[in-house]
Amino acid sequence: MAQLTLVQAVNEALREAMRRDERVMLLGEDIGANGGVFRATEGLMAEFGEDRVVDTPLAESGILGTAVGLAVNGMRPVPEIQFMGFIYPGFEQVVSHIARIRMRSRGRFAVPMVVRVPFGGRIRAPELHSESTETFFAHTPGLTVVAPSNPYDAKGLLLASIESNDPVIFLEPMRIYRAFREEVPEGYYTVPLREARVVQEGTDLTVIAWGTMLRETLDVVRKLEAEQGLSAEVIDLRTLSPWDEETVFASVNKTGRAVVVHEAVGHLGLGAEIAARISEACILQLEAPVVRISSFDVPPPPFSLEDWHAPTPERIASGIAEALSF
């Protein structure tokens, strides 16, 4: 198997999907000849032509609105938004049209499209390039929200998303686009949507994370295991909405303690919803309040403060200690 980075795995998934189904087409700013801002679509225009890999004007609302029209007329568009902070001009298309057409049409029309969006920060970019606003989309009925944490899942989850007959917001953690490589199978395969992955089993507490924070949290957990003999169960949520309650609840009922780590701000973040649901469903087994570790409740700061703003290894370790010591 090839050793691929996460962004190479995304490129492979798009190529496999376009070879398998001629209805799959891509559109976005600079995705054609330039291969996209992160080169996720590199080489695809040369292979599939300008009719299936479409360079668009700098107009996110137009990109997403065009994709809606293509989807309801039988195509399977995969629009790319360059950065999560750029999606706001197209947000109305997402919440008013993409998420609602199946309900509005009483099931007569579906919107089989995947909106690819790099998210998260700490790549030393200016304002509006470092957003983690997954809650906007997780809060919107009608959308499936996905966030892979590794190359294998990125390819399989993206192919499963393109197969879906309903819209998917596919969030790509740009900080780890090229941070590491792992074996990724050649050819077509899918990773099921809406299923979390137990990355490692443990008995002392459950740690839940996704995207970039999964890898960074796992580094902290393994350091604590080596130093303190900690036994932590780590869960990669993978699909953020609807998230896999069954896997999370089964783990927390076993360990009795839970920590949620995410890069978005804490106030009304997805961690708040997960903590609330665990508190409701696992109350008789919980031995400590659920701990949330997040970015601070301020906009993403200038890049000189990015590493302080996001959950640091020290804050993750402190949150785990808080859950264990209650």
Instruction: Spell out the alpha helix ranges (H) of the chain.
Output: 6-20, 44-48, 60-72, 91-93, 101-104, 134-138, 151-163, 212-228, 245-255, 270-281, 306-309, 313-325
Residue 79 φ then ψ, to 5°: -75, 145
- CA–CA distance, 91 with 291 (Å, rounded to integer): 31
Extract the tokens encoding 184: 């990724």
CA angle 248, 293, 302 (to 5 degrees): 135
Q: Which residues, 6 or more positions from 143, have their beta carbon under 8 angstroms from its beta carbon?
A: 94, 98, 99, 137, 167, 168, 169, 241
| DSSP conformation class of 274 | H
Count the neighbouring beta carbons within 10 Å of the beta carbon of residue 10.
28
Asked if 129 is an active-site residue, the reply is: yes
Buried b (16+ CB within 10 A) or exposed e, 163-178: bbebbbbbbbbbbbbe
Q: Which residues, 6 or more positions from 318, have their beta carbon under 8 angstroms from its beta carbon?
A: none
Please give the C-alpha separations between residue 271 and each of 16, 99, 161, 274, in angstroms, as whole numbers. 34, 23, 23, 5
Q: Which residues, 6 or more positions from 8, have their beta carbon under 8 angstroms from its beta carbon?
A: 151, 184
> Which is catalytic among the residues 97, 129, 262, 309?
129
CA angle 134, 135, 137 (to 5 degrees): 75
Residue numbers annotated as active site:
129
